Structure 1
Amino acid sequence: MASGFSFLRTQFPGLEKTGEFAERYLYSDSNSCLFKLGLLCEDIVNKMFDFDNIAMPYQMKDTLVNKIRLLENEEYITEDLARIMHRLRLGGNEARHEGTDSLQKAKLLLPQAYSLCEWFMQVYGDYSYQHQEYHLPTEQAEAAFVETAKDKAEEARLRKQDNEKAQKAVPLPQQERSKTNLQAANRRPKTEAETRCLIDEQLRQVGWEADSTALRYSKGCRPAKGRNLAIAEWPTDKVPGNEEKGYADYALFVGEKLVGIIEAKKWDTDISSVISYQCKDYARAIRKCDAEYLLGQWQDFKVPFVFAANGRPYVQQLQTKSGIWFADLRQSGNIPRAMAGWP
């Protein structure tokens, strides 16, 4: 099966090879997949510095985290791109030092690495490149992939070739480069999986324990006294229009009590109407076996609060485009509304 990163071949064959190896490691060695994705991010950041002859301030240590911060501060990248870079960086660090071996995390980060590469291609490679949908590799029954000495030498050769191209490029004026980069970033499609990562980060900032790759019902995560948990993929009974059992994207627990349900959507989805169908459906469909977690029941709702989110910021002048919508289901007259942030 052809690599999803093959679109890079003509301009950045080194990036293509690293992306290809990340895909080939996905199921057999997800830890190595995460390491390769971290390497891919590092290569992109370093190439940006070379393409535009960006210098690190003397008072800043020359590290990847500081380079990403500088690119964001100087408006070479948007906040959402910086977040992707930091996720890939952290995933690579964890793989290098801790041996996370996380298939779920690798599946989450591969499409984001692909999206970052598409953006990089559009602004530093082929300006006419058009977005193509990414599909995760399918699990194969063949033997596990292991890089040979020849594979490693070829990847190193192609990465060096990419670096030399970037170093020879004529830098653009910063204002022109920033404008081009931000325009491409604003056109970049953002997946529901990327939204999940963003929601995780937002929830953690206000005190919830949230990690949709690790804190999942399917991995044994359950409510616990003294913990404020956002448990991902909480199972429910059937919901209208779905013959199978449902799964709420997040169930919010204060201690052992279920206080909220979150439905996550893609960045470009307007979520004001999601409250009225999916969120309320899940609030009705809490399983009987989970009755011990309930605070009460209000009409046919078994959860007091529901949220819909797409990761976008709050915009007071255009609330229907805001990223968090909330409804208090305890009284039938309560109207859904946009929120400036998570509780």
Structure 2
Amino acid sequence: SFLRTQFPGLEKTGEFAERYLYSDSNSCLFKLGLLCEDIVNKMFDFDNIAMPYQMKDTLVNKIRLLENEEYITEDLARIMHRLRLGGNEARHEGTDSLQKAKLLLPQAYSLCEWFMQVYGDYTYQPKEYHLPAEQPEAAFVETAKDKAEEARLRKQDNEKAQQAVPVPHKERSQANLQAANKRPKTEAETRCLIDEQLRQVGWEADTTFLRYSKGCRPAKGHNLAIAEWPTDKVPGNEEKGYADYALFIGTELVGFIEAKKWDTDISSVISCQCKDYARCEKMRCGIFAGTVAGF
């Protein structure tokens, strides 16, 4: 709703995404992909950005150009690509995943907050997002009137962007960086980032499904990063510790990864928490704690 005064088209698309969440997650993902596409196109319109002649005018190329030219940061580009891929899967493959929709909705919300700060109300302050509560009422279905209203408002948003006076690139880039640095990152978004980085270097990682609590276990022939791996009780602590990720090459445990905020003292995490997990895991798996590295 914070978008309503500046970008009512985005607000309407976001509203429909939320209303579809539980009854039709495929439509929710489609709307989130549409939301991302609208934001990217508006950025091009606001600053009169032109695609190089050698690049196809596609959403993926537009996002790459925005990142390369420092209109967006790497983490924002990653959110855009997640929303783009989720929308494509919903459109072409009929993907129906409530878990994915729950994961992407808060990230789409955060992207919209950033967009508001850079292109709308510069004084807007981010607010914590809460997923909509599941309602027992009948499933939401867009009527012809709903679709017409959304189309009208989206057109209104587009006209506003096209009529805006372009902001110099350096000024826009600085505004982007300032807003991006203030943008709160949820634990789920952080996990998405770590999953992607682990996959890039050869690990099978997906904190949504490759979790100990979901039945994921080490397997021969697989390099698994298993999320929320339980360890025995840490000395002096009555509760069991859960490592954010346990890394297994086949059935051999080779390391732990702990996900922390940027301002956390990493050396203390390695010295204390990761080493504690390693010592306690020794009792469970018979692995010498000194061979288990904490990352």
Per the shorter chain, which TM-score range? 0.7 to 0.9
Mark the CA change 1:240 to 1:20 in structure 2 (over 3 Å): closer, same or farther.
farther
Aligned to 1:42: 37
Gaps of at least 5 residues in structure 2 are 280-290
Q: Which moved more, 1:226-235 or 1:239-248?
A: 239-248
Q: Give, in whole Å, the separation in 1 of the partners of 2:17 and 2:182.
A: 25
Deviations 1:60-117 (A, max 9, x none): 0000000001111111111111111111111111222223322222222111111111
Mark the CA change 1:264 to 1:11 in structure 2 (over 3 Å): closer, same or farther.
same
Mark the CA change 1:69 to 1:128 in structure 2 (over 3 Å): closer, same or farther.
same
Aligned to 1:66: 61
Mark the CA change 1:186 to 1:229 in structure 2 (over 3 Å): closer, same or farther.
same
Report if the CA contact (8 A) 2:233-2:240 is conserved: yes
Report if the CA contact (8 A) 1:19-1:40 is conserved: yes
Report if the CA contact (8 A) 2:83-2:104 is conserved: yes
Deviations 1:149-185 (A, max 9, x none): 2222221111111111111111112122112222211
Q: Give, in whole Å, the separation in 2 of the partners of 1:45 and 1:243.
A: 50
2:49 is the counterpart of 1:15? no
Q: Using the aligned pairs only, state the percent identity.
A: 92
Aligned with 2:145: secondary structure?
helix
Mark the CA change 1:339 to 1:22 in structure 2 (over 3 Å): closer, same or farther.
farther
Deviations 1:12-58 (A, max 9, x none): 01111111111122222222222111111110000000001111111
TM-superposed deviation, 1:263: 2.0
Report if the CA contact (8 A) 2:254-2:292 is conserved: no
Report if the CA contact (8 A) 1:261-1:279 is conserved: yes
TM-superposed deviation, 1:242: 7.8
Report if the CA contact (8 A) 1:192-1:267 is conserved: no
TM-superposed deviation, 1:129: 0.6
TM-superposed deviation, 1:267: 3.9
Gaps of at least 5 residues in structure 1 are 1-5, 285-337
Q: Which structure is higher in helix share?
A: 2
Aligned with 1:129: secondary structure?
coil
Kindly report the root-mean-square deviation, in angstroms, between the aligned alpha carbons of the 2 structures: 2.8
Mark the CA change 1:259 to 1:74 in structure 2 (over 3 Å): closer, same or farther.
same
Report if the CA contact (8 A) 2:212-2:229 is conserved: yes
Deviations 1:282-321 (A, max 9, x none): 435xxxxxxxxxxxxxxxxxxxxxxxxxxxxxxxxxxxxx
